[in-house]
A and B are shown apart, each in its own frame.
Chain A
Amino acid sequence: ADIISTVEFNHTGELLATGDKGGRVVIFQREPESKNEPYSQGEYNVYSTFQSHEPEFDYLKSLEIEEKINKIKWLPQQNAAHSLLSTNDKTIKLWKITERDKRPEGYNLKDEEGKLKDLSTVTSLQVPVLKPMDLMVEVTPRRIFANGHTYHVNSISVNSDCETYMSADDLRINLWHLAITDRSFNIVDIKPANMEDLTEVITASEFHPHHCNLFVYSSSKGSLRLCDMRASALCDKHSKLYEEPEDPSNRSFFSEIISSVSDVKFSHSGRYMLTRDYLTVKVWDLNMETKPVETYQVHDYLRSKLCSLYENDCIFDKFECAWNGSDSVIMTGAYNNFFRMFDRNTKRDVTLEASRESSKPRAILKPRRVCVGGKRRKDDISVDSLDFTKKILHTAWHPTENIIAIAATNNLYIFQDKVNSEMH
């Protein structure tokens, strides 16, 4: 199994797609709840696996293009087929996933194996009938959006108009029409005329869930820019700039690095944005540009270890963040296979671990704690014994239910909330 590089539920939560470093996409489907066991909820099983991207070689620059899937985004379902976009560093592909569970039998001219019949043996005509067959899931590439990016694509986002989508790399954002592959429009370009002046890159971007003209992009300097495509063709001038002034008491050489936003997500309501930087997650109100409305510490105990984390490059890890369906809880990953959830209403937070040792199937997860010196309880982990190679960068939350998907290196964990109180 390869390292999982992205996780995404579709709009109903029935399907869960994962992309990995080897360019493969694995789709899981939730089994319908069984009538026999009304309390057991549907589990996710493998539905389809396909190779989305292959390694390529850029001959002009003598560089290899990795096949690692950076992002997957589902299209809203418009017919019996499902569609998703998957992207590596350079190329975005649109895949159509269809099911086939019937096949025609009783052809006049062909036999069961498909070979042409000897016409002299055909004495009567029959009408072919559709007979059920084992379910077959077919995945076909419908569009390939290539050559749109000089730099590495970090985000894709489908517009609420269901006709366009955007792809963002380090310096540019392009707008595509889902049906047109040979043309895209550049809507943001922050490449300086002189590359020597480059000090800031685009780190993530997303369309607003309801307003098809609005999108946001985040930068390595910790700022968010909300842009309105109605304002001009090239949205280099933001409509709103969200930036929190630096806290002078916490200033260090690493201030800029830890302020770099690694992920930005609109809330389902469209009113808020969630950002993740190295040590915190922040909730921003679209109406307030001066500072976030909420800030949650993910692992503040790392603040005194920043130099070591800079040395081993962990400070550059890009963690993602997620909202739950009702926008009341936010989730993000951390080190040591820990992930954190923050309840915005009760202000309570919990640290959980995604590992085989600490969780048997159907066992309830035990909250974990990292102790920072001082009194240490049993089962606490000390900061110095955290495993920084076990990082949870990619997490996803089911659109409506309390089901979460956690990617821990090359393992996928799916946790569900037991709704029936009798089970607790």
Chain B
Amino acid sequence: MFVRGLKRKCFDGEEDIEGTLAGIKAIPSYNLQRQSLLDMSLVKLQLCHMLVEPNLCRSVLIANTVRQIQEEMTQDGTWQMINTQSTGQTSLDRLVSTDILCRSSREQAEGKHVPGYSTFNKDFEDDQTQDSSETMSTASSVQAPRNLQSNVWEMENPQENRGNFQKSLDQIFETLENKSPNSVEDLFSEVDNSYYDLDTMLTGMMSNTKMGHCDGLETFSSPTTTTSNSNCKSDLNELDHIVEILVES
């Protein structure tokens, strides 16, 4: 199997069909790597909720990184489908606020519920049998932010929250395509090598809308047109599948 890539275009709102991959570890696409970074950050935040008292500076920095990724994803259209289907909620609502992400145990004492992305868990089996139509994947994602919004204001007791976190963290591990790692170390050991590529990708330009140069993406092979689904539908299936798993978790 070979890696096919698409030259990344200007993020001006058009649906951007990513370079599809035969092997994830070969040359991951920017979006996929960005998504991985997002997931890693969310796991970090959730893990820090489990500590006795999280380091506020670290939590704030991670939360800001998450917000940055979300903003960029909103701008480049990855989340645009969600917005068009929403019932009047602005894209900013999708951006998870620091308090939700950085919730420390003292907030728990006040009874606020902070699910983070834990409420995004859906039945994995359902997603697997779906075809690759984007509406399906985005529809399920649409529901999740609303869950998030409503859950923010729920008052639940801390015990339940801790239970929820543990449960949702387990679910995160289970729903990822690899087996069910018992620890975060297991989880990340699988993708460790790819992060060096991630470094190259992500330490380059982030949200430069004038997408002339993209050093990391120079390794991609010749560009193909981006609009038609037909010539990469099967790849899209696979990509969406992967993205769904990562997003849903």
Contact = CB atoms under 8 A, between A and B. Distances in A.
Contact of B65 (A60, A194, A250, A254): A254
B98 A197 contact: yes
Contacts of B60: 198-201, 220
A361 B199 CA distance: 40
Interface residues of B, number: 38
A311 B61 contact: no
Interface stretch (B17-25, B169-177, B203-211): B203-211
A310 interface: yes
Nearest to A312: B188
Interface in A138-157: 151-152
Contacts of A254: 65, 202-203
Interface stretch (A301-309, A326-334, A396-404): A301-309
A203 interface: yes
B144 interface: no
Nearest to A316: B58
Nearest to A262: B57
A256 B61 contact: yes
Interface stretch (B8-16, B75-83, B101-109): B101-109
B203 A307 contact: yes
B40 interface: yes
B37 A253 contact: yes
A127 to B, nearest CB: 59
Contacts of A260: 57, 61
Classify the interface of chain B: helix, strand, loop or mixed: helix
B64 interface: yes
B50 to A, nearest CB: 13
A257 B69 contact: no
Interface residues of A, number: 39
Interface centre among A304, A305, A306, A310 (most CB of B within 10 A): A310
Nearest to A305: B199
Contacts of B2: none
A253 B56 contact: no
B99 A195 contact: yes
B150 to A, nearest CB: 16
Interface stretch (A61-69, A95-103, A264-272, A345-353): A61-69
Contacts of A171: 56
12 contacts: A64-B52, A195-B99, A195-B107, A198-B99, A199-B60, A252-B206, A254-B203, A256-B61, A305-B199, A306-B203, A307-B37, A307-B198
